Chains A and B, each alone.
Chain A
Amino acid sequence: MSEEMEGGTVKKFLYVNRKAPYGTIYALESLEVVLIGAAFEQDVSLAFIDDGVYELMKGQNTKGIDMKNFSPTYRALEGYDVEKLYVEKESLDARGLAEADLIVPVKVISAREMTDLMAESEVVLSF
């Protein structure tokens, strides 16, 4: 990724995902904004905390609810240079989940480390 893009500088963006998929539109909206934002070549990180960790569950099958299964899109993020996905360990633990349950490679970090990630970010977008 280049240091400078035409007409602007590269900022550290953090997308904070805290909602389960399908029950609300937040998870899908977040993904769409991330994909749109990817065109602007910013330094993008995604954080999954609280119910947001459910977004990354393997084995989602939405045929029965007649909604789009957008979970495979997380695997496509790499192709848009969105490679920094952070998942909070405490959130996984509370929900009986482990890294192996997730559809993409992520970095599992502690709540404390998540706090630091938030503090280092210049733009925080919450979903």
Chain B
Amino acid sequence: MLHTVNKTPYERNSFDSCLAHARKGDAVLLIEDGVYAAMKGTAPAKKLEQAAKAVAIYVLQPDVEARGIAGRIMDGVKLVDYAGFVDLAAEHPTVQAWL
């Protein structure tokens, strides 16, 4: 399963809820305002670090760049472009969008 999160972890609980429901082997892709969760040195980044032991974490690079946080993304998170987003969606039988 591919999970997407598009809200900041401060604004909504969708990020927390997503991590609580992601299974081993799943992928989590942070998009739009969801990318802020992957900023180094923050509380959400600590949660991601923990989650990354079981699930693959991705962020959408164009959304990262738009928000001025390129270079501040935590280690262990993979940056993907729109084509990479499509690949992830195609690789996983289901996509769950945590809105």
List residues of chain A with CB under 8 Å of any chain B CB. 19-24, 50-51, 54, 57-65, 67, 69, 71, 94-96
A63 CA to B6 CA in the complex, in Å? 19
Q: Which of A19, A20, A21, A60 has the most CB of B within 10 A?
A: A20
Collect the chain A residues with CB atoms within 8 Å of residue B45's CB.
96
Interface of chain B residues 69 through 84 with chain A (CB within 8 A): 69-70, 72, 81
- Shortest Cβ-Cβ A-B pairs, 6 listed: A64-B62, A23-B33, A57-B68, A59-B68, A60-B68, A96-B42
**Closest residue of chain A to B34, judged by CB?**
A23
Q: Choose from A24, A54, A94, A96 the contact partner of B67 (Cβ within 8 Å).
A: A54
Collect the chain B residues with CB atoms within 8 Å of residue A71's CB.
68
7 A-B pairs besides A23-B32, A63-B62, A94-B43 with CB distance below 8 A are A19-B11, A23-B6, A51-B8, A58-B68, A60-B65, A60-B67, A61-B70
